[in-house]
Amino acid sequence: MIKKFVKKILSSFGYKLSRIESVDLPDLDEITKSLTKKPDPIIFDVGANKGQSIERYKKMFKFPTIHCFEPNADEISNLKKKFLNDNNLVLNNLAVGEKEGTLEFNINAISDHSSFRKLIPNTTWIKKRSKQVNISSENYTSKKINTEIITLDDYVKKKNIENIDILKIDTQGFEDKVLLGAQKLIKENKIKLIQLELIFSEIYQDSLQIYDIEKNLIPKNFKLFSISNGGSLDSHYVFQSELIYVSSDVYENFKKNSPYFNN
């Protein structure tokens, strides 16, 4: 009876009570740091939002240079104030995609959820998120803006950047397009580590699958190195994971120094 009551309460907040499995979840920050092996990496933060990843990387590395890309001008303005006088931070009020141009960007009530992908109406997710900010689900997308898009291949060429040590992508369903605009970099082994978020739940229209990511990486000798957590569509109304892929040279270097390959 008590268990049933607790389950009902947790369910109202979007959680589900279940047995804890004996699985060690990876620490992605520790993995990133151990694989990067330098104090001054070049980092690209695609989907900078409020600077959550900027703060992460500043804690992880002594002298990182971070190129940030964020289509929401309000968030860029806040980042400029938050990281005033940081000479190792490059803030770009731009989106990153498959090709240069402009595209309509959906600004949502909770800005973390803003995306080029439209939300699927009447889902559990949008109902709960709308309730959080006390608006109707029909008004969760507050406005749409035309946004300039660049490609990473063009950006590094213009900026004379030789390599990207870490490419972090959190674009709410646009991750595949970001990778398509970086195919030259990927092919030439100039991106060493890629961390991206993949949402498996049907929250946005045209949601991605792992195949949509890996078809752009695996043929170029990238390897899936880590997944943040498990889950299922059955037990999570928000089912998503952080994935880390590494280039062939990073993986080979890892193998040389790993006890798992040197028995």
Q: What is the pLDDT of residue 11?
A: 59
Strand order in the sheet with 95-96: 95-96, 141-150, 101-108
- Check which CATH number belongs to the domain holding 179 and give it: 3.40.50.150
Instruction: Quote the pTM value.
Output: 0.86
Is 74 among the domain residues?
yes
Confidence at 22, pLDDT banded by 50, 70, 90: very low
| 103 within some domain | no
Q: Is residue 229 part of a domain?
A: yes
The verdict on residue 86 lying in a domain is: yes
Q: Is the pLDDT of residue 6 over 60?
A: no
Average pLDDT over residues 41-54: 93
- 126 occurs within a structural domain: no
- What is the pLDDT averaged over residues 162-187? 95
Q: Is residue 208 part of a domain?
A: yes
**pLDDT of 19 strictly over 60:** no
Length of the chain: 263
Region 242-254: mean pLDDT is 94
Say what the pLDDT of residue 109 is. Answer: 84
Instruction: Judge whether residue 24 has pLDDT over 70.
Output: no
- Does 43 reside within a domain? yes
Domain-located, residue 157? no
User: pLDDT tens-digit profile of 72-109?
Assistant: 999 999 999 999 889 999 999 999 999 999 999 988 88
Q: Look up residue 151 and give its two tokens.
A: 């490609």
Give me the residues paired with residue 43 across strands. Answer: 66, 166
Lowest-pLDDT range, 19-28, 70-79, 160-169, 195-204?
A: 19-28
Q: What is the pLDDT of residue 139?
A: 84
Residue ranges making up the domain that contains 198? 26-93+171-261
pLDDT at 163 over 50: yes
Query: Residues 6 or more apart from 142 whose CB is under 8 A from it?
Result: 107, 108, 109
Mean pLDDT to the nearest integer, 208-233: 88
Q: What is the mean pLDDT of residues 147-169?
A: 97
Q: Which of 46-55, 140-149, 175-184, 225-234 has the highest mean pLDDT?
A: 175-184
Q: Into how many domains does the chain fold? A: 1
